[in-house]
Amino acid sequence: MSAPLDTTPPRPLTFRRYRDGDDKPGRWQDQIFDADHSHKCPTYIQSTPPCQGSCPAGEDIRGYLNIVRGVEKPPAGVPWQEYAWRRLTEANPLPSVMGRVCPAPCESGCNRNQVEDFVGINSVEHFLGDWANEHGLAYPKPAQPSGKKVAVIGGGPAGLSAAYQLARKGHAVTIFDERAELGGMMRYGIPGFRTPRAVLDTEIQRILDLGVATRMSCRIGSDVTLAQIQADFDAVFLGLGAQSGRPLPVEGSDAPNCVTATAFLKAFNDGRMLHVGKRVVVVGGGDTSIDVATVARRLGHIDQIHESDRPENAISGSTGFAAHDAATLSRRQGAEVTLTSIFDIEKMQASKQEVEHALGEGIAIRGGMAPVAVLRDASGRATALRIMRCEARFVGGRLEVKTIPGTEEDIAADLIVSAIGQAVDFAGLEVLNNGKGAITADKNYQVQGQAGMFVGGDVLRPHLLTTAIGHGAIAADGIDRHLRGEPQDKRPKIDVHGFDLTRKMIEKGLKITPVEAPLRGTDASTGAIHNYDNRSDRYVISHKELFLGHFSYTPRLRRKVVTLSATEALSNFEERLLPLLEAQAQAEAKRCMSCGQCFECDNCVVYCPQTAVFKVSKSKATTGRYVDTDYNKCIGCHICKDVCPTGYIQMGLGE
């Protein structure tokens, strides 16, 4: 017999996301918002501001600007200038130099551009660096040496940055450099009127005072082998740099008076070159080409020149200018300098400020022109550069240059300088060359297949000086983990220095309870306010999350720039960029919108209709721990989020 049928009606489900016949999902907002309240509550989200996300050195820009403006207070007895400088130099040990020459990608990314103009981050950095130099600030030495030895090959920005970070961690560091002095491209590739040598020397000496040793005029591969270095040291950092220039890829570029920008600038910075030809043509378009052009304009030319004293001889190092006495040199005249670029002037890679200076000094800039040949006389010397109008653009990440036939013209030249890029000199280190003129490394900058050997700077990818500083710091972290026998962890998505709430609480003497994870909540923790989450390692806050209406129009305070005419530029090697005054630096820092972190404006407290948002008591408050929420009063109206200027308050699901 079969079992009797069950005629009991089916039990209705207690919960169904959709009902029979539904073919489209409803608006999720309808489930969240309900008239005067919602199921969302304020959350306090610390984010990375775009300035820091754009800084290749990973500086805590928001942090030191908040110190300068007075939002974050220094510990008792520490001047705010020193406290801000120490926050800045956690990432970058060369702020006085970088404040002068860095093209400041942080300013391009600044959210303040949505209001009127970016914050003058570079100018505040310049001020802090100079203040520290004037007051003789030093870095604290590590309390305990590690007993480990690290060789740093190359004393440029990458090598100095790595040496600085490693020395702070207690490791014994020795820098090897083939030059007579440290600094790399900062010394031998940038003219002194942009990086005053006294400033550079002071910041380098501060690093050496940590106990960093040096072996100068020592080339790896000839004076000492890489194998010897690896045998004598526990780890190696390669900051070789890219100090070999690229010649023009055109016929006739092997003429003796057709030289590279790196060779030209080195001869000038060494003091070997005191004048140039009457007509100088520079090919490039980046900041290096502007440096060459402005140096040539300042050096000028002399009418009576001995054959042995031609500029190319000084550049090659074969002669100096001893044949000419001071009276002869004093009669030199301004050189006619022309700079050509395959890009139009407004699209050149050089900073707009440097381009404006060059034009003001009488340098002719020819944009949209490609070199096609170097014309030579019977002796083989270059007499002119043939150029042709062109259209240059990037297609799929590759540069395409299309020349326009029939537009050729010749620019007469006594000296032609190629500033179209740099290359690494692998002589004696050929085993490291990956075949593309660089060294292959992982995301921790450890050389592929070489445990304990790390790399950074232009030998990875020619870029900015501040990029090399960032490489050195990241590599130093990897070296430190290697020396401790720890695995090379995955670097965070946003690899920059950020605000540390724990440090502020320790400075104030507050008790700290570790926050295990954001999802477990911070309601019972004294380590943070309720619903606090630090997302600085993975989230850059957009201007769309800010209440921009809070910020009134405030013009940017600009550093004074000494502008020279064509005549005034001749023989003028004085610094052109002057620092802000103290009050100006503070006023400029106040323009910072503190994106992603509370700057204690009180808007949320004032506008909360339920008085749910309240100030943390003074005894427990510090930067980043200024306001909290009483969730028994909060109705989730999200007004606090709407009026938060910095985007620090966001709405999240809660009870």
pLDDT tens profile 335-379: 899 999 999 999 998 888 889 889 988 999 999 999 999 999 999
Of 398, 422, 446, the domain-final residue = 422
Same domain flag for 402 and 294: yes
Same domain flag for 232 and 322: no
Q: Are 372 and 347 in contact (CB under 8 A)?
A: no
* Phi, psi (rounded to 5 degrees) for 160: -65, -40
CATH number, domain with residue 173: 3.50.50.60
505 φψ region: left (φ > 0), alpha (ψ -120 to 50), beta (else): alpha
What's the pLDDT at 290? Answer: 94
Q: What is the pTM of this model?
A: 0.88
What's the pLDDT at 357? Answer: 87
DSSP letters of 78-98? --HHHHHHHHHTTT-S-HHHH
Of 422, 439, 465, the domain-final residue = 422
Q: Are 144 and 167 in contact (CB under 8 A)?
A: no
What's the pLDDT at 326? Answer: 39
Same domain flag for 234 and 157: yes
Same domain flag for 369 and 509: no
* Domain membership flag for residue 557: yes
Strand segments (E) across 364-479: 364-367, 369-376, 382-395, 398-403, 409-412, 415-418, 422-423, 453-455
Same domain flag for 263 and 125: no
Same domain flag for 339 and 405: yes
- The HSE-up count of residue 475 (CA atoms within 13 Å, CB side) is 35
* Domain membership flag for residue 489: no
Handedness of CA 257, 263, 265, 271 (dihedral sign): negative
Give whole-number Cα distances, 434 to 151, 426, 441, in Å.
22, 11, 10
pLDDT at position 445 over 80: yes
Mean pLDDT of 303-329: 53
319 vs 58, more confident: 58
* Domain membership flag for residue 4: no
What's the pLDDT at 330? Answer: 43
Same domain flag for 274 and 377: yes
Task: Give the position of tokens 């002796």.
Answer: 379
Average per-residue pLDDT in the chain?
88
Task: Give the position of tokens 């020619």.
Answer: 462
| Rounded Cα distance, 146 and 155, in Å | 22
Q: Which uninterrupted H or E stretch holds 187?
A: helix 185-188
Question: Is residue 451 classed exposed, middle or buried when 0-12, 13-18 and 19+ CB atoms within 10 A define those classes?
Answer: exposed
- What are the tens digits of pLDDT across the range 380-426? 999 999 999 999 988 887 889 999 999 999 999 999 999 998 888 88
Long-range CB contacts for residues 447-452, cutoff 8 Å, separation at least 24: 447/238, 451/482, 452/230, 452/234, 452/235, 452/236, 452/479, 452/482
Domain that holds residue 646: 43-136+496-653
Of 404, 422, 440, the domain-final residue = 422
* Domain membership flag for residue 2: no
- What are the tens digits of pLDDT across the range 508-544? 888 877 665 554 567 777 778 888 888 999 999 999 9
* Residue 132, amino acid: A
Q: Which residues contact 432 (CB under 8 A, 6 or more apart)?
A: 226, 238, 426, 439, 447
What's the pLDDT at 181? Answer: 95
Q: Which of 96, 93, 67 is nearest to 82 (CA)?
A: 67
Same domain flag for 506 and 525: yes
* Domain membership flag for residue 416: yes
Strand segments (E) across 377-499: 382-395, 398-403, 409-412, 415-418, 422-423, 453-455
What's the pLDDT at 374? Answer: 97
Q: Which two tokens stand for residue 380?
A: 């083989």
Same domain flag for 376 and 322: yes
β-bridge partners, 220: 224
Q: Supply the Cα-derived Rg of the chain in whole angstroms.
A: 30
Q: Are 413 and 382 in contact (CB under 8 A)?
A: yes
* Domain membership flag for residue 15: no
Least reliable range by pLDDT among 211-215, 322-326, 358-362? 322-326
Same domain flag for 64 and 131: yes
- What are the tens digits of pLDDT across the range 160-193? 999 999 999 999 999 999 999 999 999 998 999 8
